[in-house]
Amino acid sequence: MPNDIPSVPEDNFRQRVLMSIHAIPYGKVATYGQIARLAGSSRAARQVGGILRKLPKDSSIPWYRVVNRSGNISLIGPDYTRQRTALQDEGITFNASGVIDLALYGWDPSQP
């Protein structure tokens, strides 16, 4: 059983990824794998990052609310700082290792 979502195959994967990210609530974060799953391709976590890389700067999408499985920011350099600052502005805290506590700030789509 290879796939998760059989229907709506016409939808662009990209569009659904962006939609899923847009649904992340303020003050919460989601992982790349989580977004991939929500977009219908549970194993396309890598692609999520690829899409975000190409994202326009003036996008209304909260790209910074996406982190990797360990609760860490995958970006490097100035981009790392930009994302971290944006998250801290929403009240999200990092531990000494620069890791977000996903049990605390991880988004659970089934919870309002």
Partner DNA sequence: CTGCTGACCCAAG
Partner DNA sequence: CCTTGGGCCAGCA
**Of these, 12, 60, 95, 111, which contacts DNA (CB under 7 A)?**
12
Task: Kindly state whether residue 74 participates in binding DNA, applying the rule CB under 7 A.
Answer: yes
User: In whole angstroms, what is the distance from residue 54 CA to residue 49 CA?
Assistant: 9
CA 66 to chain centre: 3
C-beta closer to DNA: residue 76 or 112: 76
In angstroms, what CA-CA distances link 88 with 6, 27, 33, 109? 38, 9, 22, 21
What is the maximum span of the chain, computed from C-alpha positions, in angstroms?
44
Site for DNA in 13-72 (CB under 7 A): 13-14, 31-34, 41, 43-55, 63-64, 66, 68-70
User: In whole angstroms, what is the distance from residue 88 CA to residue 33 CA?
Assistant: 22
Instruction: Write down the least CB distance from residue 80 to DNA, Å.
Output: 9
Residues that bind DNA (CB under 7 A): 2-3, 12-14, 31-34, 41, 43-55, 63-64, 66, 68-70, 74-75, 79, 83
